[in-house]
A = this chain, B = another copy of it.
Amino acid sequence: MNLHLHYICNMKYSELKQSLKNHKLRITDCRMDVLEYFQQQKKALSFRDLEYKFQEYDRVTLYRTLHSFEENGLLHKIPGDSGSAVYGLCNDCGVEAHHHNHMHFKCDTCGTTECIDVPVEIPTISLPKNYKMTDMDVIVNGICNHCNSN
């Protein structure tokens, strides 16, 4: 039984390692621990969450871990309410469409963010069982009107 658990545990460990390698990241204790935690939690985590969980690592190291993960495509940043962004593991999410509140366009070239007026209803995003939507932020990145015509 213990053997079994250990076996599973080792598997996970090697998977984590492989995951780091796949993203061209060196294997370090901090990165392994943080990645494992993301895997276990299955939800987006904030810097605070990590800081609390991993007091054995320096704040700066955790910041840099998040940055390296983001840079190498292991994590993506989710824009947060008030400047305190949270991070979630990248995986393929299929989505539908829906009702909405805001719709913004941010130009990759000039950096301008505009509120886009499109006089059309957005189809309904189908959420999983038991989820209820109150409101929604849609941010589209790309090339704007102006930058595209140059």
Contact = CB atoms under 8 A, between A and B. Distances in A.
Given A136-B139, A139-B78, A143-B132, A97 B94 contact: no
A102 to B, nearest CB: 6
Nearest to A110: B43
Contacts of A80: 79, 83
Contact of A142 (B132, B142, B148): B132
A113 to B, nearest CB: 4
Contacts of A118: 93-96, 125-128
- Number of copies of this kind of chain in the complex: 2
Interface in A1-34: none
A139 to B, nearest CB: 4
A140 B127 contact: yes
A94 B128 CA distance: 24
Contacts of A115: 43-44, 88-89, 91, 93
Interface in A64-111: 76-86, 88-89, 91-98, 100, 102-105, 108
Interface of A: 42-44, 76-86, 88-89, 91-98, 100, 102-105, 108, 112-123, 125-145, 148-149
